[in-house]
């Protein structure tokens, strides 16, 4: 093509000046594009924040990144599905992967009874030192020390459960569960500490004793229910899970995504809704842009004829309109991105959704949401805006390019 770069330069210059020609209309169109981009990216940041919070809570809620169990434990988490510990093979394999923490637990269904109330719970026998930084229990003790005062006879329960049992710290409760001989084992524990969790359901679901105490009570000496592992690099989750599954066929190895299917499903649904939202907003914005371009073309019909008369080809007319649309889209996208980043900055300390605590707790979200603006979302929104916007502008541009010079110049009269 003759003097391609000179023509491209001319078209880009003309398109830019055309955009500035009707400032009010261009500002309105830019505003629509900016608000569209801003709403998509900001909503994505909040939704990702919710998703990340859900995942973080799920992992922190005793799950870890990877868990190892005896076969069938996940389907039936009872005392029957336990395994011997220590296990040299597992120890060696865990040393080969980049772990941030490893917690070995006894974890069985149980009933806890105070003088007044009885509740079904999950009894978790832990080594407190292993839980530090790995699960909430190591970090959430709000009153008392973990087992220190009462040693093997200490129990830690959640604040909500404490209320339901109508008891208080320092008092005794009785734990009942099935032991390895399929008999009912019971034992009294003194409440040595109380934990607060983000979710009330967590406070009601778990009671913690030392692993040794749980093993003694249940007759599980030298045996445990699960190993929870957290990773330094969560991106290697799939690789490590696959490796452990292959190396430990006699065990069940699961990633947190498999253990928390609700969180995984909600994240997938969220991705779908986000994409749908992008499409709705961006297509709406594109319609506005197309309308603007039609108006601009209608106003400039004579001029389109004139430029064709003195040398513009139909393709150049098309590109002139598309370039104008490109400028509007790029400018709108830049403003929208800046607004989104400012919004994230403004909300960096979190959005308090405690007013909706019951609703958010149902999906495992705490009362604060922190925006999580991901580059991938910014890129996706901007690319979608450009592609859909440009695609939309091709139609009015094509219509303009179909006008013959005589038709276009005749329309003025």
Partner 1 sequence: MSHTVIVEHVSKVYRQGELDVPALTDISLVIDAGGFVSLHGPSGSGKTTLLNIIGGLDRPTAGDVIVAGKSLNSLSRSELAELRLDRIGFVFQSYNLIPVLSALENVEFIMQLQGVPDDERRERAMAVLKEVGLGGMEKRRPAQLSGGQQQRVAVARAIVSNPDIVLADEPTANLDSKTSAKLLELMQKMNQERGVTFVFSTHDPLVMKYARRLIALSDGRVVDDQSAGK
Residues 311-350 that bind partner 1 (CB under 8 A): 311-316
Helices (H), 59-79: none
Of the residues 92, 184, 406, 411, which one makes contact with partner 1 according to CB under 8 A: 406
Tell me how far apart the alpha carbons of residues 171 and 193 are, in angstroms, rounded to a whole number: 11
Among 9, 23, 219, 272, binds partner 1 (CB under 8 A): 9
**Residues near 344 by beta carbon (within 8 Å), at least 6 away in sequence:** 42, 45, 371, 373
Q: Are 130 and 101 in contact (CB under 8 A)?
A: yes
Asked if residue 30 lies in contact with residue 389, where contact means CB atoms within 8 angstroms, the answer is no
CB of 326 to partner 1, least distance (A): 17
Q: Which is nearer to partner 1, 10 or 380 (CB)?
A: 10
- Among residues 275 and 302, whose Cβ is nearest to partner 1? 302
Q: Is 234 in the site for partner 1 (CB under 8 A)?
A: no
- Least Å from the CB of residue 402 to partner 1: 9
Q: Torsion-angle region of residue 171: left (phi > 0), alpha (psi -120 to 50) or beta?
A: beta
* Contact status: 92 vs partner 1 (CB under 8 A): no
Q: Of 285-293, 360-368, 371-379, 403-411, which segment contacts partner 1 by CB under 8 A?
A: 403-411
Tokens in use for 384? 């979608």
Q: Does 398 bind partner 1 (CB under 8 A)?
A: no
| Residue 10 within binding range of partner 1, rule CB under 8 A | yes
Ordered DSSP codes for 89-119? HHHHHHHHS-EEEEEEEEEEEEEEE-SS-EE
Check binding of 100 to partner 1 (CB under 8 A): no
Helix axes 23-58, 314-346, angle to 10 degrees: 50
The residue among 16 and 277 lying less far from partner 1, judged by its C-beta, is: 16
CB under 8 A: which stretch of 38-46, 104-112, 143-151, 405-413 binds partner 1? 405-413
- Is 12 one of the binding residues for partner 1 (CB under 8 A)? no
Is 404 a binding residue for partner 1 by CB under 8 A? The answer is yes
As measured in angstroms, the least distance from the Cβ of 19 to partner 1 is 10
Q: Is-contact 216 125, C-beta < 8 A?
A: no
Nearer Cβ to partner 1 (22/153): 22
What is the distance between the alpha carbons of residues 178 and 108, in angstroms, rounded to a whole number?
9
Return the number of the residue (6 or 375) whose C-beta is nearest partner 1: 6
Nearest-approach distance from CB 322 to partner 1, in angstroms: 17
**Counting contacts by CB under 8 A, is residue 249 touching partner 1?**
no
Q: Number of residues in contact with partner 1, rule: CB under 8 A?
A: 29
Rounded to whole angstroms, how far apart are CA atoms 81 and 110? 15
The interface region with partner 1, picked from 17-25, 26-34, 181-189, 327-335 by CB under 8 A, is: 17-25
Judged by DSSP in three states, 144 sits in coil
DSSP state of 63: I
Strands (E), 256-380: 351-352, 368-369
Report strand pairing: 118-126 vs 206-210.
Answer: parallel
Q: Does 26 bind partner 1 (CB under 8 A)?
A: no
Torsion angles phi and psi, residue 170, rounded to 5: 100, -25
Q: Which is nearer to partner 1, 168 or 412 (CB)?
A: 412
Q: Which residues pair with 157 in a beta bridge?
A: 194, 207
Strands 66-69 and 118-126: unpaired
The answer to the question of residue 25 lying near partner 1 (CB under 8 A) is no
**Nearest approach, Cβ of residue 296 and partner 1 (Å):** 12
Is 74 strand, coil or helix? coil
Query: Which x/- pattern over 279-318 shows residues binding partner 1 (rule: CB under 8 A)?
Result: -----------------------xx--xxxxxxxxxxx--
Binding site for partner 1 (CB under 8 A): 2-3, 6-7, 9-10, 14, 17-18, 20-21, 302-303, 306-316, 404-406, 409, 412
């Amino acid at each position: 093509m003759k003097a391609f770069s000179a023509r491209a330069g001319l078209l880009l210059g003309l398109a830019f000046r055309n955009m500035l020609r009707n400032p009010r209309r261009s500002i309105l169109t830019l505003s629509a594009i900016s608000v569209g981009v801003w709403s998509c990216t900001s909503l994505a940041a909040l939704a990702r924040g919710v998703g990340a919070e859900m995942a973080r809570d799920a992992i922190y809620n005793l799950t870890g990144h990877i868990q190892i169990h005896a076969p069938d434990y996940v389907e039936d988490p009872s005392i029957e599905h336990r395994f011997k510990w220590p296990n040299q093979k597992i120890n060696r394999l865990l040393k080969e992967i980049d772990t941030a923490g490893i917690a070995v637990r006894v974890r069985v269904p149980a009933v806890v009874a105070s003088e007044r109330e009885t509740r079904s719970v999950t009894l978790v026998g832990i080594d407190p030192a292993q839980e530090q930084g790995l699960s909430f229990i190591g970090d959430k003790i709000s009153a008392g020390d973990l087992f220190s005062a009462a040693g093997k006879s200490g129990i830690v329960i959640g604040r909500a459960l404490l209320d339901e049992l109508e008891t208080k710290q320092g008092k005794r409760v009785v734990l009942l569960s099935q032991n390895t001989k399929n008999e009912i084992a019971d034992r009294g524990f003194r409440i040595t500490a109380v934990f607060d969790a983000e979710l009330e359901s967590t406070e009601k679901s778990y009671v913690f004793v030392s692993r040794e105490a749980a093993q003694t009570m249940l007759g599980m000496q030298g045996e445990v229910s699960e190993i929870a592992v957290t990773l330094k690099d969560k991106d290697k989750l799939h690789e490590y899970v696959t490796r452990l599954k292959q190396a430990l066929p006699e065990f069940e190895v699961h990633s947190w995504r498999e253990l928390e299917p609700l969180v995984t499903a909600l994240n997938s649904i969220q991705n779908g809704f986000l994409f749908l939202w992008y499409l709705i907003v961006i297509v709406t914005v594109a319609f506005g842009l197309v309308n603007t371009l039609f108006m601009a073309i209608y106003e400039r019909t004579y001029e389109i004829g004139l430029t064709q008369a003195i040398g513009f080809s139909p393709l150049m007319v098309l590109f002139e309109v598309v370039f104008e649309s490109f400028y509007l889209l790029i400018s709108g996208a830049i403003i929208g991105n800046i607004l989104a980043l400012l919004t994230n900055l403004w909300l960096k300390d979190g959005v308090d959704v405690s007013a909706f605590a019951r609703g958010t707790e149902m999906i495992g979200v705490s009362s604060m949401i922190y925006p999580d603006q991901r580059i991938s979302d910014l890129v996706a929104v901007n690319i979608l805006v450009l592609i859909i916007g440009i695609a939309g502008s091709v139609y009015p541009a094509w219509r303009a390019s179909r006008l013959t010079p005589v038709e276009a110049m005749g329309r003025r009269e």
